[in-house]
């Protein structure tokens, strides 16, 4: 399986790091990553991680300005893309088909080729513009997985909350995540 992970400049870049770590644990998974310039700055503000440390979990690292990268073409086969976190700027670019950088072009390619694109929008509260752009992205085929809190699975730490979000995203690609605790039902 081959997936693209885009990490945009929204708050919550640590989610992208955890996604890369989770994908690295899946046998046979090839991961291509794009870290936007905004994401690099957000890593500096929100974490102690360097971009090199983050991207070390990927098989291929693409520069966001490289519009000639393999993932910019539909003839380069992938199983889809995850954008985590997905800034409102990125959502608006996806919604409008405004592919001005590699992250947006890769999403555009996946959408046009009928490949799954999962976006993890990070903003709160959301304006009507944000909601309209998210709806347009969903209407274009994107799956929207906001990083919302869970309570039914005793996720009583940030780490457990992140595991839940990663698990929900990976389910979209038919993948299991060992750290995910799903609903077991109730009497």
Q: Which residues are annotated as a binding site for FMN?
A: 9-11, 36, 87-90, 122
Q: Cα–Cα distance between 166 and 171 in angstroms, integer?
A: 9
Residue indicated by tokens 């299991």: 176
Axis-axis angle for helices 158-171, 14-24 (nearest 10): 60
Shortest CA distance to 16 belongs to which of 45, 49, 63? 49
HSE-up (13 A, CA, CB side) for residue 30: 9
- What does residue 40 show for φ and ψ, rounded to 5 degrees? -60, -45
7 pairs with which residues across the strands? Answer: 35
Query: How crowded is residue 183: how many other Cβ atoms within 10 Å of its Cβ?
Result: 8
Contact by Cβ (8 Å): 12, 147: yes
Annotated binding-site residues read: 9-11, 36, 87-90, 122, 152, 168
Annotated binding-site residues for dimethylallyl phosphate read: 152, 168
Q: What share of the chain is helix, strand, coil (3-state, %, to 5)?
A: 40, 15, 45
């Amino acid at each position: 399986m081959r997936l693209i992970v885009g990490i945009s400049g929204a708050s919550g870049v640590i989610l992208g790091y955890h996604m890369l770590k989770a994908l690295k644990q899946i046998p046979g998974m090839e991961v291509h990553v794009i870290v936007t310039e905004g994401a690099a700055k957000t890593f500096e503000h929100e974490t102690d991680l360097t971009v090199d440390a983050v991207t070390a979990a990927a098989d291929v690292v693409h520069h966001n300005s490289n519009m000639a990268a393999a993932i910019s073409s539909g003839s380069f086969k992938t199983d889809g893309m995850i954008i985590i976190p997905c800034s409102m700027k990125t959502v608006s670019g996806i919604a409008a088909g405004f592919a001005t950088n590699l992250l947006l072009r890769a999403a555009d390619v996946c959408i046009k080729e009928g490949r799954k694109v999962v976006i993890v929008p990070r903003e709160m509260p959301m304006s009507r513009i944000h909601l309209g752009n998210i709806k347009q992205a969903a209407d274009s085929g994107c799956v929207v997985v906001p990083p919302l809190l869970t309570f039914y699975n005793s996720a009583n730490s940030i780490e457990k909350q992140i595991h839940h979000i990663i698990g929900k995203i990976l389910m979209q690609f038919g993948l299991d995540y060992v750290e995910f605790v799903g609903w077991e039902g109730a009497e």
